[in-house]
Amino acid sequence: MWLSIFSVFFYLLSVLLITPMLLKIQAGEPASVPNRMPFLTAALLAILLHFINLIPLFTDLTSGQNFSVIEISSLISVMTATIATLAFLFRIHTLWFLLPIIYSFAIINLVLSTLMPAHFLYHLNQDMGLFIHVGLSLLTYSVCSIVALYSIQLVWIDRALKNKKLPFSPMIPPLMTVERHFFRLMLIGEILLTIVLISGSYHLSKTFAPQDIQKAVFSFLAWIVFGSALVGHWKLHWRGKKVVYYALLGIILLTIAYFGSRVMLEI
């Protein structure tokens, strides 16, 4: 409980340290770059405590791993927060506007997993290949979630530029830079999803279950959507709203694949 409380506190502190600057930019006012050190310290402490809070998911290998929807969602949120924070740590500054959303998502999931614990056990220790497959699946979803958030940021910057409401600020990344990072991250997500589909097809042939078919079908559809967006960008020079729609459709399909059958099983 205390780990969750302190983790939520540091997540909130991280959000509060950058939100005033973002609100100024949203209002069209000039904003300076905030001090990185207090923000990164709070964010890294929040993530570390969040991970420590999730350690019981994996330590009791004899009774199985608690992979309920809430616990999985909490794990995905901290993985997403880790990726975004590490990217910012290595001076990828196109994530300023996404960090409050990502940290807020982590806070919500951490609170839910603490106040509404659920149990849905998997015995992944009996199959290390399946354990790796699940880990890759969670990483893939985290990456694709950031892709979807990047697409929203693209729309916001593009609309602000067209309406001439975007103030000059070192905190606002150039549209082309955001777009370049967006497609690079989408490519990484597509590669990871390809690996997940290949490993998933192997495990599907060993242990057939109806919910696994649903996961495979919707994951494959998401793979087609992301792949189409990438090919369309490179061959047909797709940009703007079209690729944004593809990114959002892809994450919706992945969400159905990862959580659809699990929600029905736990209800």
Mean pLDDT of the chain: 82
Look at the alpha carbons of 27, 182, 150, 76 in this order and tell me if their dihedral is positive or negative: negative
Confidence band, pLDDT 50/70/90 cuts, at residue 189: very high
| Rounded distance between C-alpha atoms, residue 56 and residue 228, angstroms | 40
Look at the alpha carbons of 165, 167, 172, 178 in this order and tell me if their dihedral is positive or negative: positive
The label of the residue with tokens 């990502």 reads 102
Q: What is the pLDDT of residues 115-169, one digit of tens each?
A: 876 555 455 556 677 778 888 999 999 999 999 999 988 888 777 777 766 655 6
| Rounded distance between C-alpha atoms, residue 221 and residue 215, angstroms | 10
The least confident of 25-39, 141-155, 187-201 is 25-39
| Rounded distance between C-alpha atoms, residue 184 and residue 197, angstroms | 20
Q: What is the pLDDT of residues 67-118, one digit of tens each?
A: 677 888 888 999 999 999 998 888 777 777 889 999 999 999 889 888 876 5
| Rounded distance between C-alpha atoms, residue 64 and residue 45, angstroms | 28
| Rounded distance between C-alpha atoms, residue 176 and residue 206, angstroms | 45
| Rounded distance between C-alpha atoms, residue 233 and residue 11, angstroms | 36
CA dihedral 151, 137, 79, 180 (to 10 degrees): -30
The pLDDT score that the predictor gives to residue 184 is 94
Please list, residue by residue across 107-129, b when 16 or more beta carbons sit within 10 angstroms of its beta carbon and e when fewer do: bebbebbbeeeeebeeebeeeee
The pLDDT score that the predictor gives to residue 229 is 95
